[in-house]
């Protein structure tokens, strides 16, 4: 599903227009972040470019006055010393300014990038591998955004030095000036082509790198460690990781060989020009056509031109490479939101209910239909349960209800208003949820709960109450630092490592209770979604938590998804999802005698318990 590479040429190559836009954006970003740093850097660059040319001319003057045209040398010698001092000090100051500018611009770029990803209110972009590749490259680009100034300054310095020395050469030998210039043009073109190929190669190997990171992440992930060890699949995963690395390396090596061949040729060309020039200058001096000062000037000019060319080509290459990476930043920050959304307005308070009206959904055109015309009403103030086999589409329906995606066809109405006409943030404000794949945050217990409603971070009572409802208060209160205990051992220094007070690890069921508490702390919302809220709990905890949930949802609107039909039977309305549609709807009392899917599933589950009882 590669959907977001529109506007890219074959191999993901950027067009000139994209580069121009990226250049303009990077310049504007850097300028707005650090106008003083940018101005200072430009001035220092000018001075740095002028220094070697001034040195060459001053040296020629001193040498001439000492040999062929005697005259006072104190002033040019003093100027030479001053220029030398400036030339020594300028690079350090320039580097400091460039680094500072780079850091400030990097902060701004990072903030803008993450703000832009937040504008993607649904999930589609995060399931699009092209978008994910771009996001990773865009993150890299934030680090180098400000340093584009560095490369631009290098280009400017190289160009100014080149012009300065070429003019100097022109005075001594127009032919040599032209020759040196002609040698520069192919070097520049070759470097630019190389930089383009490198960017295309990096784009092409992005997937390889992502797979390699995936395997290396697995091999170092504490949650994966148990299975990896038990199944003995470490070597297998390592082999896969290494295969991806080798694939990436092979592409890198091919590129490096091309660079070596081209750069070798270019170096030979510049050595030939420098050697030829040297030969000519010595011969001319022997015949008296050039003075000693002219020869020193000539030598300085040839070396200076070569150095300027090197700087120019490498700076252009770096600038080009950074611009190419920055095109991904521009693409991500300017990406259209994945869901067309109204931005202002409120979700109406739920008074009547939520209605799924002939809702069809598939994850993309390439995927099969998951929902095929769902009609379902969740009446206000009622507890509705959704039952279905694995893969029936229950969690998908919940995601549509939270507007992580829009239905492919049909409508979901919130008190009669289409979800598409409600800003997603306003809709989500009205919903609380425990998701099947809930998060475990490597933060404190308090933060883990308060993330459900960030306003409760400083309201210990609200946190405690939610934890108590989820049956986890005693456990959290008994932790070494109570609710302020970190629920991870990830962030410890070597010194704290042995201290059990610094962080604890919870069990799966305890984490699930925390997720419940996170949903409970979001009190007073119009709708509570509970997607498999008790799958990891022991029977006693499950009983207790279901009792709490029953209390919590009394008179409130809720949607419960559970394979535990014992919990489902107590809800006001049970909907059975099968084949992408609601095939049965009723209460436990009406569905059981109907003898359909629900009755069959319920009897199957009850029979399991019955057998166990018989054995006991």
Ligand X SMILES: Nc1ncnc2c1ncn2[C@@H]1O[C@H](COP(=O)(O)OP(=O)(O)OP(=O)(O)O)[C@@H](O)[C@H]1O
Minimum Å gap between C-beta 338 and ligand X is: 13
Q: In terms of CB distance, is 280 or 361 closer to ligand X?
A: 361
Q: What is the DSSP string of 507-527?
A: -HHHHHHHHHHHHHHSTT-SE
Q: Do β-strands 353-361 and 371-379 pair in parallel, antiparallel, or remain unpaired?
A: antiparallel
Residue 157 Cβ, how far from ligand X at the closest point, in Å? 51
Minimum distance from residue 393 beta carbon to ligand X (Å): 4
The radius of gyration of the chain's CA atoms, rounded to the nearest angstrom, is 35
Residue number, 91 or 579, with CB nearest to ligand X: 579
Cα(276)–Cα(281) distance, integer angstroms:
9
Smallest distance, Å, CB 104 to ligand X? 38
Helix (H, G, I), strand (E, B) or coil at 417: strand
Cα gap 561→395, rounded to integer Å: 8
Specify which residues 46 forms β-bridges with.
none
Of the pair 363, 441, the CB lying nearest ligand X is at: 363
Q: Which of 611, 573, 599, 607 is nearest to 353 (CA)?
A: 573
612 binds ligand X (CB under 6 A): no
Say whether 201 sits in a helix, a strand or coil.
helix
Strands of 409-414's sheet in order across: 371-379, 353-361, 409-414, 417-418
Choosing from 388, 503, 509, 580, the residue that interacts with ligand X (CB under 6 A) is 388
CA distance 194 to 189: 9
Q: Distance of CA 385 to CAs 122, 274, 529, 543, 544, Å? A: 25, 83, 10, 17, 19
The one segment of 267-275, 387-395, 486-494, 594-602 that binds ligand X by CB under 6 A: 387-395
Q: Compute how many other C-beta atoms are within 10 angstroms of the C-beta atom of residue 596.
A: 15
Provide the minimum distance between the beta carbon of 532 and ligand X in the complex, in angstroms, as a whole number.
Answer: 7
Q: Tell me which stretch binds ligand X (CB under 6 A): 201-209, 384-392, 502-510, 592-600.
A: 384-392
Q: Binding to ligand X by residue 576, rule CB under 6 A? A: no
Residue 426 CA to its chain's centroid (Å): 26
Tell which positions 400-459 bind ligand X, by CB under 6 A: 436
Residue 434: burial class (beta carbons within 10 Å; 0-12, 13-18, 19+): buried
Quick check: 392 binds ligand X (CB under 6 A)?
yes
Residues 335-374 contacting ligand X, CB under 6 A: 363, 367, 370
Task: Using the rule CB under 6 A, give the single segment among 158-166, 248-256, 392-400, 504-512 that binds ligand X.
Answer: 392-400
Binding status of residue 395 toward ligand X by CB under 6 A: yes
Number of residues that bind ligand X (CB under 6 A): 13
Query: Which stretch, 145-153, 182-190, 306-314, 383-391, contacts ligand X (CB under 6 A)?
Result: 383-391
Q: Which stretch binds ligand X (CB under 6 A): 86-94, 324-332, 389-397, 484-492?
A: 389-397
Nearer to ligand X, 120 or 325 (CB): 120
List alpha helices for 287-335, DSSP H. Answer: 292-333
State how beta strands 431-434 and 573-578 pair: unpaired
Which CB, 127 or 544, lies closer to ligand X?
127
Contact yes or no for 300/59 (Cβ under 8 A): yes
User: Is residue 533 a contact partner of residue 562, using CB atoms and an 8 Å limit?
Assistant: yes
Cα distances (angstroms) measured from residue 27 to each of 146, 196, 291, 370, 540? 8, 21, 46, 46, 62
Options 194-202, 266-274, 277-285, 388-396: segment touching ligand X (CB under 6 A): 388-396
**Member of 10, 391, 478, 593 binding ligand X (CB under 6 A):** 391
Identify which of residues 394 and 403 has a Cβ nearer to ligand X in the complex: 394
x-or-dash string of contact with ligand X, 473-512, rule CB under 6 A: ----------------------------------------
Smallest distance from ligand X to CB 436, Å: 6
Find, among 235, 526, 537, 173, the residue nearest to 378 by Cα: 526
Is 390 among the residues that bind ligand X (CB under 6 A)?
yes
- C-alpha distance from residue 196 to each of 49, 158, 324, 325 (Å): 27, 21, 8, 11
2 is an interface residue for ligand X by CB under 6 A:
no
- Applying the rule CB under 6 A, the residues between 113 and 132 that interact with ligand X are 127
- Nearer residue to ligand X within complex by CB, 229 or 367: 367
Q: With binding defined as CB under 6 A, does residue 226 bind ligand X? A: no
Binding mask 248-267 for ligand X (x = CB under 6 A): --------------------
Determine the 3-state secondary structure of 222 from DSSP: helix
Residues that bind ligand X in the complex, under the rule CB under 6 A: 127, 363, 367, 370, 388, 390-396, 436
């Amino acid at each position: 599903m590669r959907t977001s590479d529109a506007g890219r040429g074959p191999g993901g190559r950027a067009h000139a227009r994209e580069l121009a836009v990226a250049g303009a954006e990077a310049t504007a970003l850097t300028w707005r972040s650090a106008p003083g740093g940018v101005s200072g850097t430009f001035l220092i660059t000018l001075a740095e470019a002028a220094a070697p040319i001034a040195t060459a001319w001053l040296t020629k003057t001193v040498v001439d006055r000492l040999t062929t045209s005697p005259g006072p040398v104190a002033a040019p010698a003093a100027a030479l010393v001053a220029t030398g001092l400036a030339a020594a000090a300028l690079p350090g100051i320039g580097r400091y300014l460039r680094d500072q500018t780079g850091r400030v611009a990097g902060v701004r770029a990072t903030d803008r990038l993450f703000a832009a990803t937040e504008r993607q209110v649904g999930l589609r972009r995060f399931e699009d591998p092209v978008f994910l590749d771009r996001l990773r490259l865009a993150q890299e680009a934030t680090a180098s955004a400000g340093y584009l100034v560095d490369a631009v300054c290098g280009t400017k310095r190289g160009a100014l030095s080149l012009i300065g020395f070429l003019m100097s050469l022109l005075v001594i030998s127009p032919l040599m000036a032209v020759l040196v210039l002609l040698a520069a043009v192919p070097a520049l073109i070759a470097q630019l082509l190389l930089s383009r190929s490198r960017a295309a190669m990096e784009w092409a190997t992005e997937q390889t790198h992502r797979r390699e990171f995936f395997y290396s992440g697995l091999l170092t992930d504490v949650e994966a460690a148990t299975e990896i060890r038990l199944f003995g699949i470490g070597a297998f995963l390592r082999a896969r990781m290494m295969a991806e690395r080798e694939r990436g390396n092979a592409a890198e090596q091919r590129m490096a060989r091309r660079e070596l061949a081209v750069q070798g040729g270019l170096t030979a060309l510049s050595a030939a020009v420098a050697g030829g020039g040297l030969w000519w200058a010595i011969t001319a001096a022997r015949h008296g056509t050039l003075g000693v000062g002219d020869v020193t000037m000539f030598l300085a000019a040839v070396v200076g031109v070569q150095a300027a060319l090197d700087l120019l080509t490498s700076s252009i290459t770096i600038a080009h490479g950074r611009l190419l990476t920055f095109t991904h930043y521009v693409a991500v920050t300017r990406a259209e939101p994945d869901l067309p959304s109204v931005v202002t307005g409120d979700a109406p308070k739920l008074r009547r209910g939520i209605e799924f009206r002939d809702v069809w959904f598939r994850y993309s055109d390439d995927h099969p239909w998951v929902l095929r015309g769902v009609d379902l009403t969740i009446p206000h103030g009622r507890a509705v349960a959704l039952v279905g086999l694995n893969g029936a589409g229950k969690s998908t329906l919940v995601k549509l209800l939270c507007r992580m995606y829009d239905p492919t066809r049909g409508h979901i109405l919130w008190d009669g208003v289409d979800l598409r006409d409600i800003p997603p943030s306003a809709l989500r404000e009205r919903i609380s949820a425990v998701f099947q794949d809930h998060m475990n945050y490597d933060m404190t217990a308090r933060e883990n709960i308060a993330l459900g409603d960030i306003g409760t971070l400083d309201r210990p009572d609200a946190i405690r109450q939610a934890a108590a409802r989820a049956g986890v208060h005693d456990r959290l209160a008994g932790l070494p630092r109570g609710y302020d205990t970190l629920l991870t051992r990830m962030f410890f220094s070597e010194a704290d490592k042995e201290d059990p007070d610094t962080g604890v690890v919870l069990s799966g069921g305890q984490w699930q209770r925390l997720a419940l508490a996170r949903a409970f702390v979001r009190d007073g919302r119009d709708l509570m979604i509970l997607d498999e809220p008790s799958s990891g709990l022991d029977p006693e905890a499950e009983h207790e938590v279901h009792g709490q949930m029953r209390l919590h949802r009394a008179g409130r609107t809720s949607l419960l998804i559970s394979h535990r039909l014992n919990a489902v039977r107590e809800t006001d309305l049970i909907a059975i999802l099968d084949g992408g549609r609601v095939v049965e709807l009723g209460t436990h009392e009406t569905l059981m005698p109907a003898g359909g899917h629900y009755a069959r599933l319920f009897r199957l589950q009850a029979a399991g318990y019955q057998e166990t009882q018989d054995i006991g």
